[in-house]
Structure 1
């Protein structure tokens, strides 16, 4: 997609973000359909992020929310992309809001694993534990103090989850060609969750999609350079992030979906070890963590099944639909295993 970079340059002029032409424009790959471009101006590198080429109804809102949470995290201990400036004027790009951030120097273990880590089990374990440390740092942030009081609706957050995602699954029936979900006992998982909703929890910043493909690791040491892809972030129960990390960790039958080359290399800590590491850095009550892992399997599985439904309707590639359907089935299998072990 070609962007009107002359208009972007004029917008940057107004904010004293360099001068002269924008050069060395190159696309960056990511885990979503959002567009990211690395570009250079006046000797400085920037990354521009906007919604997909064909904007969805909520695309601009998502980008604006990302901008807000990244701005709020400035100066914190949380490794995150450093926000430079945001543009909410859709006239600049014609239809999309966007923002500029500092480039992240590092690698995504979904698609790259440096030789030093590929051949070193202790280093891969350290990379894994650094994910936990970064998440604990995020959950330690006081969302009220950083101005995110109204960033989400924490009241009733856990109680809303099952009905919210059952409704999402039901909405796929409107897609022509989709025969309905064949992903296991959805109702059984829903009932189990609804009967065991934790009564007490502490609101905080929730990343919303925390797994190994949504972090960038540093090249000089086994540590997280930045947590990326904040489009599902909100104020809710941060323990759902922990559940999400465990739910997606070394998933049987779909190990590449959430950790890629890191998962293939093996020698990683277990999900239980990740939780133990998190427990040393939080005062949150982890008594009901199995419930959060099951909820993560339930919610993520339904989200991924949407791609399968869209593929049936000819709105997404069949290969992607098949792959994500398999992942959904594996997530529901993991949910049932956890439920059986907890009963």
Structure 2
């Protein structure tokens, strides 16, 4: 059993994140895959059959210096392309909502003492909070994410004067924590969207009681560790299908010309399936970042630490 509402230091965030999955990982990922499985399958199928030929024409024509062929192909298949983009957008939106909120609902149930969580329990949380989820989606889509993109974009531009690299190392983990804190607080408190947004920003730099030292550095330190791990692993899984594709290009006959499309046939399907599997693995790994940030949120809720400790003492007394 893990205690959620308590003070943690830098090392505890990392060790407790792995401990969380050691204790609850089997049940967690079982429910996660059951809920996300259909959406993931639909996305892979739509992407494979909707974009395979398009990417093949794009890569093939560019390699042969025949961009006009790609433009003609794009114009001839505009309707299919638009429908595919809309389907992928809707499916990805649904997937991102489920993927982002699943850790929040799961951790909330575990923190409340529910250790035998079923898929129906999590689905029930989604249905019960449908209105709040819609408001969160609007707030993130039209306010938080655009603001984050602007801030991150400015930091990226600063790379040209070198200081940007340092700025991004601080901005990226902090923005990620603000967004996840917002989500955790929105569904773990009675605050509205803007109140939770305000809390998520303030809690990065100070505890609510204002008497303890700033938690920023331990939050940032734990986050950057997992961000670096995620980046390294994602690079590995991204490079595998890319090398396979480049290997096919270099071994194909030089006179194949534009007619040769390496993305056609079974090879194109294999490439997209590998990308699909890679995406699934990276989505699974993202749960470490979500849970790690969730533990930071529970650390920030000092107003509930003592209440939980007293409740646990009462429980021990009753058991005796």
TM-score w.r.t. the length of structure 1 is: 0.22
User: Per chain length, whose mean CA-contact separation is higher, i.e. which structure has more relative contact order (CA < 8 Å, sep 6+)?
Assistant: 2
Greater helix proportion: 2
Q: Considering only CA atoms, is the larger Rg found in Structure 1 or Structure 2?
A: 2
Greater strand proportion: 1
TM-score w.r.t. the length of structure 2 is: 0.23
